[in-house]
Amino acid sequence: MSEDSLDKLMYSFVVDDVLKGLFIYVPPGYVACVYDLGRGVLKKVMTPGLHLKIPFWQKAKLFNVQTLEYSISRQFNMEHERALGDIPIAAVTQDGKRVSVEGTMLLRLDIHQVPSIWQTVGEDFVAKIVRPAIRSRIRMVFSRYDFQDIIGPKRDAVETELKNELERIFYPRGIYVENVLLSEISQISGGNGNVAASEPAHH
């Protein structure tokens, strides 16, 4: 993986405070949020372009408001806590099968709610809200279906239900769920954690 794509991954939704000095340049696809020592997080976001701020008194942070992939896969590195993604998620189906789930969620921040996200949750909202919610909703939805249905006729229904559940949690917090795609569902055999059968998605 190139350094550039690793940077993109690490600073998925939030770019660290590199906006020092008098000017803030906001690139396309981003907004800047300003923290003012006197007034706290300002409600108005800065849209793409060049802006002025008060050095030392105001601190700015860039937020990516493009649609981003939250990828659940074996390639994900858990060391990057703020990065968008996760390792395969273990779940138990309605008929008691233990499975390992991989897939992709397409997420996007609501521009107008970025200041509120930063103020109430902070910049670690992927680790605090997004990742735990996706894990718990996957486990909850999978527990409602039999394994054969999930990998067969009801896969679309599972994806739709998962999207609806995530929207219910994320939408009030300013995060849009644009799509949910399950790419691989593998059955875990016995107690040794070995993957027995792997069923890639047929989309």
Per-residue model confidence (pLDDT) at position 190: 60
| Rounded to 5°, angle at Cα 176 from 87 and 8 | 50
In 3D space, the residue among 148, 165, 157, 145 whose CA is nearest the CA of residue 182 turns out to be 157
CA distance 83 to 76: 9
Distance (Å, whole) CA 200 – CA 182:
8
Residue pLDDT tens, the chain, 203 long: 333 433 443 346 776 555 567 888 899 999 999 999 999 999 999 999 999 988 889 888 889 999 999 999 999 887 877 788 999 999 999 999 999 999 999 999 999 999 998 888 888 888 889 999 999 999 999 999 999 999 999 999 999 999 999 999 999 999 999 999 999 999 987 644 444 444 455 44
- Asked if 52 and 101 touch (Cβ cutoff 8 Å), the reply is no
Question: CA-CA distance, 38 to 59, in Å (whole number)?
Answer: 11
Buried b / exposed e across 53-87, counting CB within 10 Å, b at 16+? beeeebbbbbbbbeebebbbeeebeeebebbbbbe
Strand order in the sheet with 40-41: 14-15, 58-64, 30-36, 40-41
Exposure string for 108-123, b = 16+ CB within 10 A, e = fewer: bbeeebbbebbeebeb
Provide the 3-class DSSP secondary structure of residue 77.
coil
Q: What's the CA gap between 78 and 76, in Å, rounded?
A: 6
Query: Would you say the C-alpha torsion 189, 160, 14, 171 has a positive or negative sign?
Result: negative
This prediction has a pTM of 0.82
